[in-house]
Structure 1
C-alpha cells in the first residue's frame, strides 16, 4: 500500500508515474486498486479492465478508460482528435496505436487542468493489443503530469509493453495473517490438520481463503476438503459452486453479462428481454454481479467461472441475443465478434460475413480482430479452396500482430489440404517471414523465399521474379547473398519491356557475377529514379545500391521519400527507417545537427513503440564526429548487443582512426570491412583502406583497393564517388593532378565531409613536398570546413598539419549543440523554428510539461533566457 500511496501523492504534486501490480489470481491486486481509488481524494478516477473474451477487439479497454472525458476530445489537434475518433469507431480510417497513445495523453492533459487523475486498469493480462500499446505508451509519458496509472496484471505476463514499467509483485499472506483470515471466514471449530492443509494449499492467497467456506459446507471442511493443485482452480471452482445454487434463469442472465465485455446495462437488459428472462432473476444473480450504471462482477474470476460453466448452447444463445441488440453502425466490430461466437458448425454465409467483418476491423486498425475473424471464418468454411485462402489470410494477419505460434499452426493446417503451387508458394513466403522474425534454427528466410520463387516460375513468372528480388534484399540484410545470387540466375526471363523491379533483379545478378561496370548501365538509371515504386517497396535495397554506386543524390532522395511517405501515412514502421536513412545521408553531407535531430526523432518513435532504435546512423555520426571515447563506447555497446552490426562498426572504426591518424588501427578495421564484400558499406570502406594502407607502407594493398574502388565509382559516374576515387588515386600515385581533380569533383557535390578531406589530403601532400605556402591554403580550408562541420578528429589532424607549416589554426568555437543531448538538440531546433511546446510534444511523443522541462535544461546549459534567443544560434537553426 505504501508504493500505491506514494504514487498518488507524487501525482498530486505534479510528478506523475505508473505502477504494475503483479501476482496470481486472488492475491489482492483488485483490492489494492480499490484502496488506490479510496486514497485518491480530489482525483478524477478513470477505470478500465481487460476482458478475456474481448482481447481481439482493438482499443476496447482504452475506450472504457476514456469514456468519461471524451467531451474534451474537441480540444485536441485535428490529427489526434481524428485518431481517437477512428479508434473508438466514431470515424473511419486506420489508426495507429502510438498515435492514439499520444492523442490519449493529450486528452488526459486537458483533463488534469482541473484536478489530478488516477487511471486504474484491472486484469491487464486480458487487454487487447492496441489498448495495451497505447496505455503503455501513455504510462511512460506522464512524469510531468498530475496523472497516476495503476495496472493489475496476472502472472505470467503476455504483454511485453508493460514489462518496462515500474512493478510490484504481490506475495501471499504470512501464516499468521492467513490463519486470522481463515478464522474470520469460518466461524466454527475446524480440525487442525484440515486447517493446516487448507493454509498450505492456499499459499496465502486471500481470495482462496475467503471463497473456500462459501463453496464448501462446514462438514466438507471438517472432513478435509480436497483442494485442486492450483489456486486459480480453487477460486474458480468456488465461484462455480455458488453458481450451481442459482435458478436456471439467473445463470442464463449471468452468462449474458459475462458474454458482454463492455458491461453496458442498455445492451444487457435488451438482450435479457429478448431471451425472455424474468426480472426476478436479477435478485438471485446479485451475489455475483453488481447491476449498476455499469455491469461489474464481484471478481474477474467470477466472470470467467460463469462463462466457462455455461454450456456451449447457453453461450451461443447469449452471444446471439447480444448480436441482435448491438448497433451495426455504431459498433460493427463487437457485432461481428458476437456473431462469430454464436456460430455453430460450417456455415458459408456466416463465414463470408466474418470475412467482411475482418475487413471492417482492419480498416479501424484492428489487425488482431481481423486475424481472429479470419481464423473463425476459415473454420466455418466448407469450400476447400476458399477455406485455404481464408486460412492463409488469417496466418498473414496473425503474423502481423506477432502471434507467431498461431500463424505457424495455421500454416500447418493449410499444408494438410490438397494445394496447388501458388498456395504452396504463399505458405513458403509466410514461413520465410516467420523465420526472419523468430530467428530460430531450421531453414532461413532466404531458403523459403527461393523455394517460393521456384514454385512460381512456371505458373506466375512475374511473381517468381519478385520473390527472387525479395530474397536478394533479405540476403543483403542478414548475410549470405552468394547462394541467393546463384539461385536467381535461374529466374524466369524478364518480360519485355521489363519493369523497374525486373531491371533491378537482373542488374543485381550482373553486379554479383560480372562486376559493377557491367551492371552500371542497368542499375544507374533506376537508382537515380528515387520515386520509383521498386524503392518504395524495398527502400533498404535502394539505399544500399545508391551507396554502392556512390550516388549521394539518390541516397538522400530515397531516404527523403521514405520519410515523406511515412509521415503522410502515419506509419511507425516506415518512418523510423526513413529517418535513420536520412540521418545517415545528413552525416555524410556534414550536416551533423540535422542528423542529430532525425536520430532523436527516430529514437522517440522507437521508445514510443517499444522497438529497438536503429543504431547505424549513430555509428556513422560517431565515426565522422571523431570523439574517440564516445565512439569506442558506442561501438562496444553495439557489438555486445548484436554481431550483425560488425560491418558498420568496422567501417566506422576505420574512419575514426584515419581521422585520429592511428593508421594501423584503421588498416585492421578497413581490411575486415572490405573482406566481407557486402553491398554498401564494404564499398565505402575502400577509400579508408587505401588511405590507411598508404600511411602504413603497404602499396600493393592500397593499389588493389584502389582498383576495386574505381570499379564502383566509374560505374556510378557521380561527383561523390569520382572525387573520392581521385584523392585515393592521388594517395597511391602522388599525382598532383589527381588531388586537383578530387577537389574539382567534390567542390560541386553535397558531401561536405569528403570535400574537406580532399583539401586535407592535398594540403598534407603539399607540405611533404616542401610547398608550405600552398599547403597552408589547402590546410586552412580543410580546417575551417572540418571545424565548422564538427568533424573534430579530422579537424585536429588538419590543425596539426597547419602547425607543421608554421601557422597556428584558429581554435574551434564552442557549438551550442555540443552541450546538448540528441533529444535536447531536436527540441531546441523545433522551438527555434517556431514550434510551441504543444506542437513539439506531439511530434516527440512527450507531454508539453516534459518539453518545458527540457527547455529549462537547454536554457541553463546555453545561458539563455527566452525561446527567441534560440533562433539566433546558427548551429541550432
Structure 2
C-alpha cells in the first residue's frame, strides 16, 4: 500500500492547497523510488498555478535519499545541451557520483542513455529523486535527452523523476507521452480559503470576493495582488486600485508575455481578446474577417496556434487561458485597442447587397421578431473604437442595450451601457445610463462594479426617476448583503421616488421591500408593502380585505395570494397561487419562475416547487443572471428538503452557497448555510450542522435575518434529537416556536413544533409543548402543509401516552397518502420505543426494524443508530449497521470502496476499473460522505466489519 506523505509541514505547502489528487500522483513517484520500482511524473500547468510548489512539496517530503533539483531559466534554449550539463553538475554536486558533463553522439545530439546511466549511478544503493522545474525552457537537445532518459528510468530502479512544464508551451511537446497531471485553476472554495489564510481572516468579505474573482484560480496572481494592497484596502476602509489586476500584474502569470510576441501575433491575440467574452472565446469567422481588415498575415494564425496561444473549438477561437486574454488586452496601448475594436465593428457590419425574395420560408434568414443579435456587439465595438464624446453612437448603443433579448447576457449589456455613458456629455443622460448599467451589473453578479456605477450616476447629478432607479439598485444590493431593516427603508424610499414617473419599477421596489420585511420576520411591514404593490391603502395586516387582482396581471395575482396566506386565509390564497404556478409553464424568464417557486412552497406543493425552481435555475444560467442563480438554488434546495430529498437538497445548497459567495450575497449565503445545516441534521453530521448553523447565525445576528436564524436553530435542535440530547433540543426550540418578539420567524417557527413536542415530551416536560401543539393543530387544518396532519397525530401520541397506540397508527396511515420517508421513520422509531416500554417486544421490533431500514435509506446515521440501539434493547440483533451503510453505495462506488480498503491508490483503482483518476477521486469523495468516514483507514475498517475475510482461503474442502 502506498505511504502518502504528510504535506502540511512541507515548504510551499500553501501552494499545494487543493491539489490532493496531484499530490497523490507525486506520492506514487516517491513511493516507487523508495521501493526500487522507479517512477516519473510530468506536471503541466499555466504559469502561476503551482507547478514549482508541487515539485518543492515532493522534494521536501522525500526522505529516502538525496534530492537533485534543477530549474530551467529564460534563455536556456540558446546553448545546445546546456540543460543536460546543468543536471549532470547538480548530480555531481549533491551526490558526488554524478559523472561528467555528459557525452554526445555524432551530430551533437545529447545522449539520453548517458543521462540515464548518470542518474542511476548517482542513486547507487539509495533511492534518488530528480526534480526538473521549467523543463520547457531547456534547449531542444536537452529536452529530448531528458525525455528519453526519463522513459528509460521509468523502469524498476530507485530513481524517481518529477518534471514541470508550461501547459501548451512549444517546449512541452517532448514530454507529451509521459505520465502527467495537468493543474487546473483552483476552484472557488480553495481560492477563498487561501485568501483567508494569507490574510489571517482580516479581510473585508466583498474585497475577498473580488480578489478571488480577479485571480481566476491562479495562486501566484492572488498572492501578488494581496501583497500590493494596504491593510486599509484589505479591510474595506480604502478604495481598491482600478484595475485591480493591471497589465503588469497579469504579465507576471502568463507565458510568453505579450511583449515578447511578434507584432502580428500580438495583434491577432488582441483581436481574440477584444472580440471574446470571459471564458467564452470569440467567433472565429469574425476574428478572421477583422484580421484581414487589419492586414494580418495568415501565418500569424498558424504561429499562434502552433505556440499554443490560441485554441479552436466548434467555430470559436479563444486564448489558451483567460489570464492570457486579459493580459493581452490590458497590455495593449489605447490606439491599438481602438483599432482592434474598429476592425471588429467593420467586420460585423451587415452586407447591404439586395437578396432575392425566397419562394418558401428561408430558415437561414435571421428572425426579425428579435433584435439583430450582432447589433449590440457592432455598436459596442464602435463605441470602443472612438474617442468621446459621441452622442449619436452613445444613444444608439444605449437603446440597443436596453432592448429585452434573452440572447444577451447581463454582463454584455452592463458593459455596453457603461460605454454609452462614457461617450455621453449630458449629465442627466449619463446618470441614466450608468444607473441602468448598475442594474445589469448587479444581475450579472458584479456587485462591486454595480456599486461603482451607482456612485458614478450619483456624481453625474441624477434626479427624479433616475434617482429612484439608483436607490432601487442600492436597496436590492443591501437586501443581498446588509442589514435587511436598512434595505427595507432604502427600498421604500426608492418606491416613493419612482411613484410619479415609473409604475413598473415602483412595484418592483415595493416587492423587494416586502422581501426585506419577510427576511426580518416583520409580518406587518411585509403585508403593508404587498398592499402598496396592489395599489391599496394599508389599514393593518388583518383589517379589511384587498381588492381582487386585475384579471391577467401575474404580479397582482401572486401578491394577492401571498397576502391572503400571510393573513392565514389559505383557502383564498390557493387560487391565485395556483394560477401563478400554472402560468410558469409558459414563462422563460427567471424572475416570474422564482415567484412561481415561492407560490408552490406556500401551497405545500413541493413537487411543483422543485420543478419550477429547477427551471428558474436553468433560465438564470442561460441568461447570465448570476445574481439569481443562488436564489434559484436556495428555492430548489428548500423544496427538496421539505420533500424529504435531503441528499439532493444538500448538493444544491452547497452549490448555491458557492454561487452566493461569488456574487457577494452574504444574506442569501446565510439562508443556504441554514438549509445545509437542516440537511446535515438528517445525516447526523454534528460537526457540519454546528459549523453551518454558526455561519448562518453570525450573519443573521448582524443583518437581522430572523428567517435564517430560525432555520439554523431548528437544525441545531434536530441534530440534538438525532443524538438523543433531548433537554438540549427542548431548550433550543422553546424560543423558536414562540410567537411574537424574541420568537421564531412567522413562516418557519410552526414547522419546528413537532421536533419541540418530541424533545419536551421525551425529556419529561410534555406540558411545555401543549400550547404549541394546539397552535400546530390549527396550522394542520389549513391544508398548507401535506405532512402536518401526520406530524400532528405523532405529537398527540407523545402528549397522551395512554392513547398513543391509536395516534401513532393514525400518523402512519396519514403518511401513506403523502410520503415523507424520513419523517415517517421518525414516527416508527417513536412508536417502537413506546411499544418496547409497554412490553410488546415483537410489535416494537417490527416497527423499529422498518424505521432502521428507512433511516439507512435516507442516510440518517444518527437516527439509524437510535433505531439499532432500540432493537438491541428489545432483544433483536439488527443486521450489521456497516453492511447497511455499504448497501447505500452504487455498484461502482462499492467496487471502488473495496479496492481502496484493500490498499489500492486512486491511480491503481483507475487502472483496475478502466476509469480516469479524476473519476475515481469524485466517487471516493461521495463514498466518504455517504459512509461518514474521514480517511482511507476508517473506510478499510468499515469494509472489514461489513465484509469480514473468510476464515480460510476459498478452495475445495480438505
TM-score relative to the length of structure 2: 0.53
Q: Report the RMSD for the aligned CA atoms in angstroms.
A: 6.0
2:525 to 474, 483, 488: 483
User: With CA pairs under 8 Å and 6+ residues apart, which has the higher RCO, 1 or 2?
Assistant: 1
Change (3 A) 1:801 1:820: closer
Change (3 A) 1:17 1:783: same
Change (3 A) 1:716 1:424: farther
Change (3 A) 1:657 1:13: same
| Structure 2 partner of 1:515 | 568
| Structure 2 partner of 1:706 | 773
Structure 2 matches for 1:74-85, cutoff 5 A?
Answer: none
| Structure 2 partner of 1:721 | 788
| Structure 1 partner of 2:219 | 166
Query: In 2, distance between residues paired with 1:137 and 1:340?
Result: 35
1:647 counterpart = 2:675: no
What's the offset of the Cα at 1:637?
Answer: 5.8
Question: What SS class does the counterpart of residue 745 from structure 2 fall into?
Answer: coil
What's the offset of the Cα at 1:705?
Answer: 0.9
Does structure 1 retain, via aligned residues, the 8 Å contact 2:597–2:609? yes
| Structure 2 partner of 1:329 | 347
| Structure 2 partner of 1:658 | 721
1:394 counterpart = 2:428: no
Query: In 2, distance between residues paired with 1:826 and 1:541?
Result: 44
Does structure 2 retain, via aligned residues, the 8 Å contact 1:654–1:685? no
Change (3 A) 1:715 1:772: same
Query: In 2, distance between residues paired with 1:432 and 1:559?
Result: 24
Question: What SS class does the counterpart of residue 13 from structure 1 fall into?
Answer: strand
What's the offset of the Cα at 1:352?
Answer: 3.0
Query: In 1, distance between residues paired with 2:634 and 2:894?
Result: 16
Change (3 A) 1:826 1:321: farther
| Structure 2 partner of 1:793 | 862
Does structure 2 retain, via aligned residues, the 8 Å contact 1:43–1:115? no
Query: In 2, distance between residues paired with 1:720 and 1:303?
Result: 58
Query: In 2, distance between residues paired with 1:717 and 1:443?
Result: 28
Output one character per residue of 1:674-724: Cα deviation in whole Å (capped at 9) or x when no partner: 344325432321111222222344444312211222233222255312211
Output one character per residue of 1:737-770: Cα deviation in whole Å (capped at 9) or x when no partner: 4333211111222311111222233333444555
Question: What SS class does the counterpart of residue 815 from structure 2 fall into?
Answer: helix
Structure 2 matches for 1:80-91, cutoff 5 A?
Answer: none
Query: In 2, distance between residues paired with 1:575 and 1:716?
Result: 30
Query: In 1, distance between residues paired with 2:209 and 2:732?
Result: 43
1:503 counterpart = 2:557: yes
Query: In 1, distance between residues paired with 2:499 and 2:632?
Result: 33
Output one character per residue of 1:639-679: Cα deviation in whole Å (capped at 9) or x when no partner: 56765543222111222222333221111221233344325
Query: In 2, distance between residues paired with 1:481 and 1:792?
Result: 37
Does structure 2 retain, via aligned residues, the 8 Å contact 1:549–1:721? no
1:669 to 722, 728, 732: 732
Question: What SS class does the counterpart of residue 497 from structure 1 fall into?
Answer: coil
Query: In 2, distance between residues paired with 1:405 and 1:32?
Result: 45
Change (3 A) 1:259 1:534: closer
What's the offset of the Cα at 1:136?
Answer: 6.6
1:850 to 912, 918, 923: 918
What's the offset of the Cα at 1:425?
Answer: 3.4
2:678 to 617, 620, 624: 620
Question: What SS class does the counterpart of residue 328 from structure 1 fall into?
Answer: helix
Query: In 2, distance between residues paired with 1:819 and 1:371?
Result: 48
1:374 counterpart = 2:417: yes
Does structure 2 retain, via aligned residues, the 8 Å contact 1:381–1:387? yes
1:444 counterpart = 2:507: no
Change (3 A) 1:749 1:457: same
1:408 to 442, 454, 458: 454
Query: In 2, distance between residues paired with 1:599 and 1:523?
Result: 29
Query: In 1, distance between residues paired with 2:491 and 2:662?
Result: 32
Query: In 1, distance between residues paired with 2:634 and 2:432?
Result: 37
Question: What SS class does the counterpart of residue 469 from structure 2 fall into?
Answer: helix
Structure 2 matches for 1:115-134, cutoff 5 A?
Answer: none
Does structure 1 retain, via aligned residues, the 8 Å contact 2:710–2:736? yes
Q: Which sits farther off after the overlay, 853-862 or 687-696?
A: 853-862
1:434 to 472, 477, 481: 477
Aligned residues: 632
Does structure 2 retain, via aligned residues, the 8 Å contact 1:17–1:139? no
Query: In 2, distance between residues paired with 1:501 and 1:650?
Result: 33
Query: In 1, distance between residues paired with 2:484 and 2:518?
Result: 19
| Structure 1 partner of 2:509 | 467
Output one character per residue of 1:300-342: Cα deviation in whole Å (capped at 9) or x when no partner: 99999995xxxxxxx78x7776666546336978875664356
Does structure 1 retain, via aligned residues, the 8 Å contact 2:492–2:509? yes
| Structure 1 partner of 2:41 | 13
Query: In 2, distance between residues paired with 1:633 and 1:480?
Result: 27
| Structure 2 partner of 1:759 | 828
Does structure 2 retain, via aligned residues, the 8 Å contact 1:531–1:561? no
What's the offset of the Cα at 1:116?
Answer: 10
Question: What SS class does the counterpart of residue 814 from structure 1 fall into?
Answer: helix
Change (3 A) 1:394 1:114: farther
Q: Which sits farther off after the overlay, 605-614 or 754-763?
A: 605-614
Query: In 2, distance between residues paired with 1:470 and 1:748?
Result: 37
Output one character per residue of 1:211-241: Cα deviation in whole Å (capped at 9) or x when no partner: xxxxxxxxxxxxxxxxxxxxxxxx99xxxxx
Change (3 A) 1:487 1:270: closer
Structure with the largest fraction of helix? 1
Change (3 A) 1:116 1:761: closer
Query: In 2, distance between residues paired with 1:547 and 1:500?
Result: 17
Q: Which sits farther off after the overlay, 364-373 or 783-792?
A: 364-373
Q: Unpaired runs of 5+ in structure 2?
A: 1-10, 17-21, 27-39, 51-70, 79-132, 140-166, 192-206, 225-246, 249-263, 275-286, 297-325, 350-373, 537-547, 898-905, 929-935, 941-958
Does structure 2 retain, via aligned residues, the 8 Å contact 1:374–1:393? yes
1:750 to 795, 799, 819: 819
Question: What SS class does the counterpart of residue 881 from structure 2 fall into?
Answer: coil
Query: In 2, distance between residues paired with 1:413 and 1:808?
Result: 75
Query: In 2, distance between residues paired with 1:542 and 1:170?
Result: 44
1:537 to 561, 572, 591: 591
Change (3 A) 1:17 1:813: same
Query: In 1, distance between residues paired with 2:618 and 2:329?
Result: 48
Output one character per residue of 1:500-541: Cα deviation in whole Å (capped at 9) or x when no partner: 4323323433444x3355765556645865946599526676
Change (3 A) 1:347 1:746: same
Structure 2 matches for 1:240-259, cutoff 5 A?
Answer: none
Does structure 2 retain, via aligned residues, the 8 Å contact 1:586–1:595? yes
Query: In 2, distance between residues paired with 1:303 and 1:555?
Result: 44
1:687 to 743, 754, 759: 754
Does structure 2 retain, via aligned residues, the 8 Å contact 1:378–1:391? yes
| Structure 1 partner of 2:464 | 419
Structure 2 matches for 1:189-588, cutoff 5 A?
Answer: 325-326=343-344, 328-329=346-347, 336=379, 339-340=382-383, 343=386, 346-355=389-398, 358=401, 370-381=413-424, 389-399=432-442, 400=444, 401-402=446-447, 403-413=449-459, 416-420=461-465, 423-437=466-480, 439=482, 444-455=486-497, 464-477=506-519, 480-491=522-533, 492-493=535-536, 495-497=549-551, 499-512=553-566, 514-515=567-568, 520-521=573-574, 525=578, 529=582, 531=584, 536-537=590-591, 550-563=604-617, 565=619, 577-579=631-633, 581-588=635-642
Query: In 1, distance between residues paired with 2:558 and 2:645?
Result: 31
Change (3 A) 1:270 1:476: same
Question: What SS class does the counterpart of residue 515 from structure 1 fall into?
Answer: coil
TM-score relative to the length of structure 1: 0.57
Change (3 A) 1:700 1:361: closer
Does structure 2 retain, via aligned residues, the 8 Å contact 1:19–1:166? no
Change (3 A) 1:565 1:640: same
Query: In 1, distance between residues paired with 2:328 and 2:823?
Result: 69
Question: What SS class does the counterpart of residue 716 from structure 1 fall into?
Answer: coil
Query: In 2, distance between residues paired with 1:139 and 1:707?
Result: 45
What's the offset of the Cα at 1:380?
Answer: 4.0
